[in-house]
């Protein structure tokens, strides 16, 4: 069901991930997977292109219905069919939410974070307030005391990543309820990026943030779990009809309109690809076990509950483990991109074949264990 791309196929299919990486180096950085599209998506896109279905996109009602079906089957969550408003991408959807639906005032972003979270705050002309995770904390949690201090100082929007990239946490219902209690008290609006939600791994549970705070803005897309960012299909999920109207009423240049092919692919992904997704999650679960087995003894990894992106603390081996890995033929994402100034961390993408992951880990471990400790740049 899950079809691996060979190196040659991956170089053509994923020109950013593979093409921006030197020949001979294995890419395990940007969040793309080394797998072919699910067949129902491939077929639907081919049919759409063969049928010249590239006109202006109509209102994307089918996307909301397909998403509601997915939410019911996978998360036992009843979300209205008409709660979704289509948009071009998750980050452009977050920009739209900040501009059209959130109060003025600073925006709180926990770090480490997906780097565009910081950028989108700047793009919308808001002040960014970061709340850093202590890299030595045993469990990666939302630091509610620091978050409350930011609200007390005037912040009125909170940017949540649920599940979290790069920490790999699927926040529990009680953690999310505690956040909702706090944001409710200060009149803070939460924008929750849930693009990684279908990728919760065995042992963890995904809680849609809207089930603990109906005033939140959910932004999601099938693009991450089904490996198709190029089709530019995402959606805002808004429970208040007035919010939906406000977004729909925005002028076209403010809306960053969605793509017809994104709607075609998104509908099929939410509706017809459960078996493919199950095979993917099974593969990711096995790769997670492989990673845990192969990491060297002084590497630190908190349990990976969701996503295919492992957040590794390699401070015991190198201040710049990315540079070490690159010298040994592996490209990783540097931890400092996610939390500026943080040494010794990397994000490793394990959405690939078992053989390729084994080779990535072999090269990384060789590099780390044959380099000097703590000072290697």
- Residues of this chain that interact with ligand PLP (CB under 6 A) are 31, 89-91, 114, 161, 165, 193, 195, 221, 223-224, 229, 234
Separation between Cα atoms, residue 106 and residue 145, nearest integer Å: 17
Residue closest to ligand PLP (Cβ): 89
Q: d(Cα 265, Cα 127) in Å, to the nearest integer?
A: 36
Q: Report the nearest approach of ligand PLP to the CB of residue 17 (Å).
A: 11
In DSSP terms, 107 is beta-bridged to: 128, 157
What is the smallest separation between the CB atom of 134 and ligand PLP, expressed in angstroms? Answer: 21
Q: For residues 308 and 317, which CB has a smaller minimum distance to ligand PLP in the complex?
A: 308
158 DSSP β-pair partners: 108, 190
Q: How far is the CB of 90 from ligand PLP (least distance, A)?
A: 4
C-beta of 126 vs 196, nearer to ligand PLP: 196
Contact 259, 88 (CB under 8 A): yes
| Min separation Cβ 350 and ligand PLP, Å | 14
Q: In a 10 Å sphere around its CB, with 0-12 CB exposed, 13-18 middle and 19+ buried, how is residue 248 labelled?
A: exposed
Question: By C-beta, is 183 or 349 nearer to ligand PLP?
Answer: 349
Name the minimum Å distance from CB 347 to ligand PLP: 10
CB of 91 vs ligand PLP, minimal distance in Å: 4
- Angle among Cα 154, 160, 165 to the nearest 5 degrees reads 140
Nearest distance from C-beta of residue 215 to ligand PLP, angstroms = 21
Cβ-count burial 283-296 (b if 16+ within 10 Å, e if not): bbeebbeebeeebe
Decide if 227 contacts 338 (C-beta within 8 A). no
How is residue 306 annotated by DSSP?
B
Which of residues 62 and 229 has its CB atom nearest to ligand PLP in the complex?
A: 229
Distance of closest approach, residue 30 Cβ to ligand PLP, in angstroms: 7
State which residue, 229 or 367, has the beta carbon closest to ligand PLP.
Answer: 229
Do 248 and 85 contact (CB within 8 A), yes or no?
Answer: yes
Mind giving me the DSSP string for 326-350? HHTTEE-EEGGGTSTT--SEEEEE-
Q: Is 164 or 283 the residue whose CB approaches ligand PLP more closely?
A: 164
How many residues are recorded in the chain?
A: 377
Q: Is the dihedral of CA 317, 320, 108, 207 positive or negative?
A: negative
Residue among 94 and 368 whose Cβ is closer to ligand PLP: 94
Which residue lies nearer to ligand PLP by CB, 31 or 263? 31
């Amino acid at each position: 069901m899950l079809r691996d791309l060979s190196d040659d196929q991956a170089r053509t299919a994923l020109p950013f991930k593979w093409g921006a990486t030197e020949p001979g180096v294995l890419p395990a950085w940007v969040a793309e997977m080394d797998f072919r599209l699910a067949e129902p998506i491939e077929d639907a896109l081919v049919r759409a292109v063969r049928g010249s279905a590239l006109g202006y996109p109509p209102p994307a009602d089918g996307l909301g219905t397909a998403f509601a079906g997915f939410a019911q089957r996978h998360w036992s969550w009843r979300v209205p069919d008409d709660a979704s408003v289509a948009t071009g991408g998750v980050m452009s959807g977050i920009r739209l939410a900040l501009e059209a639906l959130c109060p003025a005032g600073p925006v709180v972003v926990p770090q480490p974070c997906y780097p565009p979270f910081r950028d989108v705050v700047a793009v919308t002309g808001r002040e960014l307030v970061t709340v850093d995770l202590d890299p030595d904390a045993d469990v990666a949690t939302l630091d509610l005391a620091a978050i409350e201090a930011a609200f007390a100082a005037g912040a009125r929007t909170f940017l949540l990543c649920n599940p979290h990239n790069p920490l790999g946490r699927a926040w529990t219902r009680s953690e999310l309820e505690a956040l909702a209690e706090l944001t409710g008290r200060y009149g803070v609006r939460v924008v929750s990026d849930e693009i990684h939600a279908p990728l919760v791994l065995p042992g963890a549970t995904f809680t849609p943030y809207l089930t603990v705070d109906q005033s939140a803005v959910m932004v999601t897309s099938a693009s991450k779990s089904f490996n198709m960012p190029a089709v530019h299909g995402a959606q805002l999920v808004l429970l208040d009809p007035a919010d939906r109207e406000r977004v729909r009423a925005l002028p076209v240049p403010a809306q960053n309109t969605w793509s017809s092919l994104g709607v075609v692919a998104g509908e099929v992904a939410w509706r017809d690809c459960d078996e493919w997704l199950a095979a993917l999650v099974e593969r990711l679960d096995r790769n997670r076990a492989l990673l845990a087995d192969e990491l060297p003894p002084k590497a630190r990894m908190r349990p990976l509950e969701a996503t295919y992106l492992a957040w590794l603390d390699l401070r015991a081996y190198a201040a710049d483990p990315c540079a070490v890995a690159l010298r040994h033929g592996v490209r990783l994402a540097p931890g400092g991109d996610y939390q500026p100034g943080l040494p010794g961390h990397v994000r490793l993408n394990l959405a690939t074949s078992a053989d390729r992951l084994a080779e990535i880990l072999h090269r990384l471990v060789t590099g780390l264990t044959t380099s000097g400790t703590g000072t290697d740049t």
